[in-house]
Amino acid sequence: MTELLHLTERPLWDAARGTGTYEMSTRGRTLHEEGFIHCSLPHQLPAVAELLYGAGGRAEAGDRDLVVLVIDTERLPAPVRYESLRPGGEEFPHIYGPIPVEAVVGVLPWPDKEGDLA
């Protein structure tokens, strides 16, 4: 089983649990707008949190109820592609379709007690 991580706001995850699928790509952008859902590997999550929320993901994160979705790729009907923003750059996992709530095998607070999940 491969696990991917996705940082989101708890109310967005709660809404997805009501509809059966999660369809936010990244902060403020939907799957429909972006074309895929941005994800991270554990070692990539702190940098993603920094990019989206600043101060190590902790400054604004302290003002928001953030969670990390742990996604089991074997439960995804949509393809996962590892892609880079630029040639030779670090590749990040992207899910090309909605995430069924059944594919989310864990929901962790962010920041966690140790400060990251890496």
- Please, what are the domains in the chain? 3-110 (3.20.170.20)
d(CA 39, CA 56): 17
The CA-atom distances, in angstroms, between 111 and each of 34, 36, 97 are 25, 24, 27
Contact between residue 75 and residue 103 where contact means Cβ atoms under 8 Å apart: yes
Three-state DSSP class for residue 16: helix
Residues with Cβ within 8 Å of 114's Cβ and at least 6 positions away in sequence, in order, are none
CA 106 from centre of chain: 12
pLDDT tens series, the chain, 118 aa: 789 999 999 999 999 999 999 999 999 999 999 999 999 999 999 999 888 877 554 544 455 689 999 999 999 999 999 999 899 999 999 999 999 999 999 999 988 655 545 5
Contact between residue 68 and residue 107 where contact means Cβ atoms under 8 Å apart: yes
Residue type, 31: L
